[in-house]
A and B are shown apart, each in its own frame.
Chain A
Amino acid sequence: DIQMTQSPSSLSASVGDRVTITCRASQDISNYLAWFQQKPGKAPKSLISAASSLQSGVPSKFSGSGSGTDFTLTISSLQPEDFATYYCQQYNVYPPTFGQGTKVEIK
């Protein structure tokens, strides 16, 4: 199975900060990389597919980049509603696998 490794596992940031989360795949997955946001007690919400394509309705403060094995999710200006856990997931190779998550907390 492809291992997905996110860094950092957690981070503290202030409202207005620019935040970057990294996701690394154990082998080349082209651009078959998705990002999800999960708030406590809620289901994950899809943000980005194909490494950089925003889902409909997702604000443009979210952006994704990368291909091959290295990917990033950037939040351009952190707002209170963005404090959550973020997961990457590869869907290039069966079985689909997730990163361990990055918890974004308020500083």
Chain B
Amino acid sequence: EVQLLESGGGLVQPGGSLRLSCAASGFTFSSYAMNWVRQAPGKGLEWVSAISGSDGITHYADSVKGRFTISRDNSKKTLYLEMNSLRAEDTAVYYCVKDRSAWYFEYYFESWGQGTLVTFSS
């Protein structure tokens, strides 16, 4: 069974930084592209970033390009999202999401973690 467990969310100030982690199990982690998808409170879903399984190719939404960095450690079966220069509009639940297809970006979001909340302090 695929399991994805996010951590690292919390309270931040505008301009601050945070690193999210996602521990994966139940599948061959290095074979699959992984994604971050976020959801602002009471709002819809927004794809944020993706990383390929083993060759380090990354993609970003325009809204986070240059501020967020996605990475992975296949030996630890862990996905990361380094978030810098955070803005109030980055407030959201961030979901770690496994792509369905091995070896390429399909962007079909087959399996989701429970999410971790990033909020701003005033």
Cβ–Cβ < 8 Å partners of A89 in chain B: 45, 109
A19 shortest CB reach to chain B, Å: 19
**B32-50 vs A, Cβ < 8 Å mask (1 yes, 0 no):** 0000000000001111000
Partner of B112, one of A43, A95, A99: A43
- B113–A98 CB distance below 8 A: no
12 intermolecular pairs with C-beta atoms under 8 Å apart: A34-B108, A36-B109, A43-B114, A44-B95, A46-B109, A91-B106, A91-B108, A94-B59, A95-B47, A95-B59, A99-B44, A101-B45
Identity of the chain B residue whose Cβ is nearest the Cβ of A46 in the assembled complex: B110
Partner of A43, one of B61, B110, B115: B115
B120 sits at the interface (CB 8 A): no
Could you list which residues of chain A lie within 8 angstroms of chain B, going by C-beta atoms?
Answer: 34, 36, 42-46, 49, 55, 87, 89, 91, 94-101
- Total A-B contacts with CB atoms under 8 angstroms apart: 48
If A89-B109, A91-B107, A91-B108 touch, whether A98 touches B115 (CB-CB below 8 Å) is: no
Cβ–Cβ < 8 Å partners of A94 in chain B: 59, 105, 107
- B109–A97 CB distance below 8 A: no
- B46–A43 CB distance below 8 A: no
**B82-122 vs A, Cβ < 8 Å mask (1 yes, 0 no):** 00000000000001000010000111111111110000000
Could you list which residues of chain B lie within 8 angstroms of chain A, going by C-beta atoms?
Answer: 44-47, 59, 61, 95, 100, 105-115
A41 shortest CB reach to chain B, Å: 9
- B109–A44 CB distance below 8 A: yes
Cβ–Cβ < 8 Å partners of B108 in chain A: 34, 46, 49, 91
A100 CA to B40 CA, complexed, in Å: 12
A98 CA to B107 CA, complexed, in Å: 11
- B112–A97 CB distance below 8 A: no
If A49-B100, A89-B109, A91-B108 touch, whether A100 touches B47 (CB-CB below 8 Å) is: no
